[in-house]
Structure 1
Amino acid sequence: MERILYIGTKNVSSWAFRAWLPLRELGIEFKEQVVDIRKPQRFDNLRRIGEISPAASVPVLVENQSIIFDSLAIMEYANDIGGGNLLPSDPLLRARARSFLSWQHAGLSGLCPRLSFESAFYPDKRQMTQEEQIDAERLFRCWEQELSLSGGPYLCGDLSLADLALVPTVIRIYSHRPQMRSWPLTHQWIKRLLARESVEEWMSEARNLPPIILDNYR
């Protein structure tokens, strides 16, 4: 069986990062194919991806003749074939995990739109704006409540797809050194996530790439 995951450049492709993480965490074998999505080659490369994927974007998981072309679908498929341990067995808790998954997949209601994943790798980071700080605190408050409710160490107790889906968002916010004193459970959760071997593997490669400075980062 051949299983290929097409991902984007690792200091850009947060959507692919989300799909890649559960595959790694569950020890599922796959071949990684990096598609350079930096400009100007981005458009030609994604056009080629469009030859195998209706969405013409990454990530794409190709397994034999089957194409899975959505990051959330790839995450859930990885969980299905990897034993199902990345979603809670309790129906209510599983629904809460899926709520976080869906919220992240929908863009977290547009929170922090200018704190891109790319900005986590900038050598000189600006301070967060007041609006971004308010947005981050809204997230911290939500995560703190969930961690208190579940008892930790992750959002639903054990590590789940909900935690993994939020990793790129955590990275882009935490790299800008937000004030964490009021959110001790969230702070420990963030550090625990960033210390995972799978996360560090991706990030170590991403840090070695030239940063991609976006025009709207100011």
Structure 2
Amino acid sequence: MRRILYTGTKNASSWAFRAWLAMRELGIQFEERVVDIRKPQRFENLRRIGEISPSTSVPVLVDGDNIIFDSLAIMEYANEIGGDALLPAEPLARARVRSFLSWQHAGLSGLCPRLSFESAFYPNKREMTSDEHKDTERLFSVWESELKSSGGPYLCGELSLADLVLVPTVIRIYSHSPQLNTWPLTHQWIVKLLARECVEEWVSQARSLPPVILDNY
């Protein structure tokens, strides 16, 4: 069966990154078609995506005659067809992973909205504000507690969808050089996560592109 995953510009498409990561980590074969979501071509390109997807956004997975048009749905579907390797078997642990998935999908409580995924690839980055430091410290505390409870090296022990869904968030925050001395487990987790082959592949391609500068940075 032929699968096509429509993704977006590598240094601007964090949601497509999440779906792509799940597919790649599970070894699922697919053809990738990159949609340029930079302005001004963004609007016409997404209009064309709207011809196959009601969300008029990426990612979109075309699997035979079926369309899956949401990043979280694609991640869960990939896990199901990929051997269920990225969700724990135990129900409570599975629910814990889904809690992180849902939290990220809902916007992670509005964490550092001006530190966009695009900003991770800016050649000159600004200092984080005091509010951004407070937000990230709260998030680091959550991750540190989870890693301490699970025993690591990933959030719920073994690599799961919880880790993959957070990769773009980790990249955008970590690129702004936060202090992680107080959260050693979180620091180790971040380094390990960013060193994964699939993550490095996407990030390498993202860094090769002209930065997408947003006005509210």
Whether TM-score is above 0.5 comes out as yes
Give SS of 1:152's match: coil
Q: CA deviation at 1:171?
A: 0.1
AA matched with 2:125: K
Matches within 5 A, 1:86-125: 86-125=86-125
Give SS of 2:6's match: strand
AA matched with 1:189: W
Look up the match of 1:53: 53
Give SS of 2:153's match: coil
Look up the match of 1:184: 184
Q: CA deviation at 1:201?
A: 0.6
Which runs of 5 or more structure 2 residues have no equivalent in the other structure? none
Look up the match of 1:24: 24
Q: CA deviation at 1:85?
A: 0.9
Determine the C-alpha separation between the residues in 2 that align with 1:69 and 1:109: 23
Matches within 5 A, 1:1-218: 1-217=1-217
Determine the C-alpha separation between the residues in 1 that align with 2:131 and 2:159: 30
AA matched with 2:50: G
Q: CA deviation at 1:188?
A: 0.2
Q: Which stretches of structure 1, 4 residues or more, deviate above 2 A after TM superposition?
A: none
Equivalenced residues, count: 217
Determine the C-alpha separation between the residues in 1 that align with 2:5 and 2:42: 18
Cα deviation per residue 1:81-138 (whole Å; 9 max; x = unaligned)? 0000100011001100000000000000111100000000000000000011111011
Give SS of 1:33's match: strand
Identity %: 78
CA RMSD of aligned residues (A): 0.4
Tell me the TM-score normalized by structure 1. 0.99
AA matched with 1:136: T
AA matched with 2:119: S
Determine the C-alpha separation between the residues in 1 that align with 2:53 and 2:109: 26
Which runs of 5 or more structure 1 residues have no equivalent in the other structure? none
Cα deviation per residue 1:135-161 (whole Å; 9 max; x = unaligned)? 101110000000000000000000000
Give SS of 2:38's match: coil
